[in-house]
Amino acid sequence: MAKIVAVTACPTGIAHTYMAAESLKVGAQKLGHEIKIETMGSAGVENRLTDDDISQADVVIIAADTNVDTERFAGKPIYMTSTGLAIKDGAAVINEALSKAKVTVAKEVAKIEEIKAQRSAQRSGVYKHLMTGVSYIIPVVVAGGLCIALSFAFGIHAAEQEGSLAAALMRIGGGAAFALMVPVLAGYIAYSIADRPGLTPGLIGGMLASQIGAGFLGGIIAGFIAGYVALGLKKSIKLPKSLEGLMPVLVLPLISSLITGLLMIYVIGTPVKGIMDWLTFRLNTMSTTNAAILGLALGAMMAVDMGGPVNKVAYAFAVGLLGSNTFEPMAAVMAAGMTPPLGIALSTFIAKNKYTKEEREAGKAALVLGMSFITEGAIPFAAADPLRVIPSIIAGSAVAGALSMSFHCALRAPHGGIFVLPIPNAVENLGFYIIAILAGSIVTALLVSLLKPNKNVNVINTK
């Protein structure tokens, strides 16, 4: 029996981190090994590895899609992989680690850091930086959106009464949390590009974008400008040794903020505001056919990689529009994100002969994840049978998104799954919205059930 320690981490720290940890845990149990797993999620580090854990370990597994410090593992065999591979087959990753992990010394730690830097460079660019910003605004938007939804529970116009609880909730959600959305998005895009020197100009540029009315699109542009300006200044400005302390607290924040701010005010802000106004107008005046097409596209994007880059782009698009009081795309995105695990769960119930006992048990977990709007609940099934499962869940999510937009359903809360549906006025056209979710789930379930072959297992009927 081997003693294993592992670390799992993903860029957003919401689902892949914990699903990889669970898969590794199940794999270790199956193989008869002892494992302790540290998760680096959105809530911070959990189940932290101690020095004793590391010293007693036979191998270290790092399943991560983001940077993880490896210095504390010097002298131990380290095996590095992705969360996706760990989720797909935890036992296979453990076997691979035990056979291929290499002992690290100081030189090899440096080599690993170099490899990590290369991987980071491969993941760099627009997507990586944008997703960093999105991962930081998700808690802000969720908290703010749910406060707004709770405010509407007292009535659509209840917040207009000064001093009321509804007004306080609206002030917390709309006045504070949503006011921070664009600055935080811009700030952490810039932070991803230039590290700490990018944060100040990014926050300032994002606040200016919000004040000008350039919305989330202006915030994204401000974040990239601030980040690359700060990075360029950091590399190009050289001060005497005695004045280097002024760089992070005076020189970089001041110059980068001035450049970013002036560009936003005099060059970028007004044109981007015009684009946002046009986009908001078009979305709010779309015909039913055009709305269905947009919903279909957003729905398919939510399912195609189940929490991956395409999924996050669709979600970020819908979340960004909340600040412009455009709520229909958010409803379509959440409906489409719920249907893959819900449809899979339904399939494991109506077509038991197509699944092993373990898969049917996993279907119960997928049901809970689907109800919670965690699309990643479908990943284990898609990884095991991608050619049949992925087209099925894309079709179901496309149907859910198209129906939601066609019915003009609107959602004021950016997350929460079925748990926000009972909040009065949080969802417009609630009955039709439930129909859209059910229809998408049924389409997925029927397609998966038809396409998958029978399993050679005995299915025991229990009543």
Question: Which residues carry out catalysis?
Answer: 10
d(CA 370, CA 459): 24
Which run of H or of E encompasses 262?
Answer: helix 252-263
User: 34: how many CB neighbours lie within 10 A of its CB?
Assistant: 14
Q: Pairing relation of β-strands 44-46 and 59-64?
A: unpaired
Reference 316, options 177, 149, 129; nearest CA is: 129
77: DSSP letter? E
d(CA 373, CA 178): 21
**Dihedral sign, Cα of residue 193, residue 196, residue 197, residue 200:** positive
Residue 59: strand pairing partners: 4
Reference 296, options 332, 264, 323; nearest CA is: 332
273: DSSP letter? H
Q: Pairing relation of β-strands 59-64 and 3-9?
A: parallel
Please tell me the number of Cα atoms within 13 Å of 39 on its side-chain side.
20
